[in-house]
Amino acid sequence: MTVTDALFERALVEEATKKSGLVWVRAPGGPARPLWHVWHEGAACLVGDGPGEQPLSGLADGGDAVVTVRSKDKGGRVVTWEATVVQLTPGSPEWEAAVAELKGKRLNARDGEAMPERWSRECRVLRLEPNGTTRPLPGSALAEPPLPTPATTRRPVPAALPRLLRKKRRGRR
């Protein structure tokens, strides 16, 4: 690989990850999980493993992860890159900087301004630092059944839904 190719891949990883609000992260031996993040100082920063936050199971300090970035507008894969997981220590300058970025992007926080204090007590803040290796995009869809979750519910289709859908189709013709 030439220096130009390496710089191109690094720029692709950074730009694609910056623009995508959601990445798919796979820890060794685990399933790929969708995780929201922010790109900060050359790495994807995540917060989770606390009450009401995203699960970061399998991501250990010093471990490896594979990150797949999707296109924000089309939803298709753009790039898959390998990362080293670094857990930030609460109160450290790196942690403070990452949390300031994460706090600005966190939607629907239950505790608003007290969020960083809760994160320092109950959550983990991780950096996924690219190690310079990208993987070729697969030729197949890699579709898998959804992971089990207590948030999934099955309810009957509302009685009015078929009628509403027919109205929309008639309006398009």
Tell me the two tokens of residue 38: 């922010």
Other Cβ atoms within 10 Å of 15 Cβ, number = 14
Position 51 scores a pLDDT of 85
Using DSSP's 3-state secondary structure scheme, residue 44 falls into strand
Query: Does the residue 163 lie in any domain?
Result: no
Query: Does the residue 146 lie in any domain?
Result: no
Position 46 scores a pLDDT of 95
Query: Does the residue 118 lie in any domain?
Result: yes
Query: Does the residue 167 lie in any domain?
Result: no
Query: Does the residue 110 lie in any domain?
Result: yes
Q: Which amino acid is at 142?
A: L
Query: Using alpha carbons only, what angle is made at residue 24 by residues 62 and 154, rounded to the nearest 5 degrees?
Result: 125
Query: Using alpha carbons only, what angle is made at residue 77 by residues 64 and 66, rounded to the nearest 5 degrees?
Result: 5
Total structural domains in the chain?
1
Which residues, including other chains, have CB under 8 Å from residue 42's CB and lie 6 or more apart? 14, 129, 130
**pLDDT tens digits for range 20-57:** 989 999 999 888 899 999 999 999 999 999 888 899 98
Position 98 scores a pLDDT of 96
**pLDDT tens digits for range 59-110:** 999 999 999 999 888 878 899 999 999 999 999 999 999 999 999 888 777 7
Tell me the two tokens of residue 85: 């997981």
Query: Does the residue 120 lie in any domain?
Result: yes
Q: Which range of residues forms the domain containing residue 47?
A: 3-140
**pLDDT tens digits for range 110-147:** 788 888 999 999 999 999 999 988 888 888 877 778 77
In DSSP terms, 46 is beta-bridged to 126
CATH code of the domain covering residue 115:
2.30.110.10
Query: Does the residue 150 lie in any domain?
Result: no
Query: Does the residue 32 lie in any domain?
Result: yes
In DSSP terms, 23 is beta-bridged to 35, 69
Choice between 95 and 151, residue whose per-residue pLDDT is larger: 95
Residue that the structure tokens 């839904």 belong to: 161
DSSP 47: E
Position 36 scores a pLDDT of 93
